[in-house]
Amino acid sequence: MTLEVRVFDASTHTAQDAADALGVELAQIVKSLVFVAPTDDGGLEPIICLVAGHNRVDVARLAAVVSEQDVRRATAREAFDLTGFSIGGIPPVGHSQLARVIMDPDLGRFQTVWAAAGHPSAVFPVPPATLRTLSNATVAPMTEERRLADAAAGSEGDKQRAAQNAGA
């Protein structure tokens, strides 16, 4: 498969930066967030969450989805060691080792979503179904519940939340 990577002069390190640069909704940006669960041998198993830009992962919900009680967010060093990429540019595919991938169902609302392409200023467009297939993701709800008022506010609420949670 060929992916069309777009590189920007300015950083698209945060989901809001990427949405602004592309002129798309924050929800169309795929955040590839790295979580970890301990393994029996004392190591760490990577769990990649592909999350719509306006959402935040609920760690308790993620733990239930992956059946791992001690799941936690990876440190920047762990994320790099487990994926081969730095935070802000972690792509949904092509990691240095196999990882479980969980995909936010909200991404399926769009014909096209935008994901990091391995660098903080590079992204690529992809249909959500193709993203799911390429990343071998399980689609499951693992994000925080949005309040009705936030949902009704639409993109304005998304922008405010993004400003509060930049890079989350």
Contact yes or no for 94/55 (Cβ under 8 A): no
Q: Provide the pLDDT for residue 10.
A: 76
Q: What is the C-alpha separation between 10 and 8, in angstroms, rounded? A: 5
Q: Provide the pLDDT for residue 12.
A: 75
Strand runs (DSSP E) across 6-164, as ranges?
Answer: 6-7, 29-38, 44-52, 72-73, 100-103, 113-116, 122-126, 138-139
- Mind listing the pLDDT tens digit for each residue in 9-52? 877 778 898 899 899 999 999 999 999 999 999 999 999 999 99
- Can you tell me whether residue 145 is helix, strand or coil? coil
Pick the CATH number of 22-160 from 3.90.1150.10, 3.40.190.10, 3.90.960.10, 3.20.20.70: 3.90.960.10
State phi, psi for 159 to the nearest 5 degrees: -65, -40
- Mind listing the pLDDT tens digit for each residue in 88-143? 899 999 999 999 999 999 999 999 999 999 988 899 999 999 999 999 999 999 99
pLDDT at 4 over 60: yes
Confidence of residue 164 (pLDDT cuts 50, 70, 90): very low
What residue segments make up the domains of the chain, in order of their start?
22-160
Q: What is the C-alpha separation between 48 and 25, in angstroms, rounded? A: 22
